[in-house]
Amino acid sequence: MTPLYSLRGLWVRFGPAEILRGIDLDFQEGRLTAVVGPNGAGKSTLMSVLSGYRENYQGSCLFREREIARWKKPELARQMAFIPQMVRLEFPFTAEQVVFMGRTPYCHGLFESPEDREAVRRAMEMTDMLPFAERPFQALSGGERQRVVLASALAQEPEVLLLDEPTTFLDVKHQIGAYSLLRQLARKGIAVIAVTHDLNLATSYCDRIVVIDKGQVAAEGTPDEVLNESLLRDVFEVDVEIRPGPNGRPWVFYEQGPGAALRG
């Protein structure tokens, strides 16, 4: 099967600093993939290349067998939605108006179509944000804003969903809800790629995990293939113990503090 994305020898440099170093990866449709790694590993830079926002790279990043830098932005916008770590809006938009922004690639006039309104309603319902439709975006909590931004991406009806820390600011209920939704979207054929620091959310919901460390791929595969105590100690520099979780997938237990013993 031809991969949706094919990265070969991908390098990104900022001056003398090498942020990504020789990345070789493939991404397929219909999978939920977590990208994990310590701060500064290059995860957000990788997402910026996959989204087409960063064009000053070396090597190759093919999207649907065409170099990502050669795609026109309007073409990409009809296929791909990207949620960066932080979204700032200075104007007094309501939550619903922010979600309508996700329909921009389909706009053909000054007024929303019935299809636009239905897509926005459906996206806000999926993210539990319909009751907040008329609230000013700036008056929302961090978690509520995050859910509005996710709804805006879903209203875009993408075939690829790229998310950089999608559960930042979310409480436990909405973290679980967000990843359950992402898994459902992947089952419908959407390629979902999410950067996360929560290894247990990644193991519980994702089909595949890519571990990035110091700008390189340290490991990639299913949670069972990737997560082992030696790798996590080397990459994250913490003591861990891995045991079977409630769903049979690996679950990561962290050391409780300096010198503390892991307890059963």
The string of pLDDT tens digits covering residues 168-180 is 888 999 999 999 9
**Is the residue at 42 inside a domain?**
yes
Domain that holds residue 85: 30-54+72-229
* Domain presence at residue 242: no
Q: Give the pLDDT confidence score for residue 246 in this predicted structure.
A: 79
Q: Is residue 143 part of a domain?
A: yes
Is 174 domain-assigned? yes
* 93: exposed, middle or buried (Cβ count in 10 Å: 0-12, 13-18, 19+): middle
Q: How many CB atoms lie within 10 A of CB 16?
A: 5
What is the biggest distance separating any 2 CA atoms in the chain, rounded to whole angstroms?
A: 63
> Do the domain assignments include residue 67?
no
In this predicted model, which residue has the larger pLDDT, 87 or 245?
245
65-115 per-position pLDDT tens digit: 999 999 999 899 999 999 887 677 777 899 999 999 999 888 765 567 899
| CATH classification of the domain holding 174 | 3.40.50.300
- Give domain status of residue 145, yes or no: yes
243 within some domain:
no
Q: What is the pLDDT of residues 38-55, one digit of tens each?
A: 999 999 999 999 999 998
Domain count, the chain: 1
Return the closest-CA partner of residue 26 out of 9, 45, 6.
Answer: 6
Residue 6 lies inside a defined structural domain of this protein: no
pLDDT-derived band at 261 (thresholds 50, 70, 90) equals very low
Three-class DSSP labels, the chain:
CCCCEEEEEEEEEECCEEEEEEEEEEECCCCEEEEECCCCCCHHHHHHHHCCCCCCCEEEEEECCEEHHHCCHHHHHCCEEEECCCCCCCCCCEHHHHHHHHHHHHCCCCCCCHHHHHHHHHHHHHCCCHHHCCCEHHHCCHHHHHHHHHHHHHHCCCCEEEEECCCCCCCHHHHHHHHHHHHHHHHCCCEEEEECCCHHHHHHHCCEEEEEECCEEEEEECHHHHCCHHHHHHHHCCCEEEEECCCCCEEEEECCCCCCCCCC
Instruction: Supply the DSSP string of 74-114, one letter for each residue.
Output: HHHHTTEEEE-S-----S--BHHHHHHGGGGGG--SSS--H
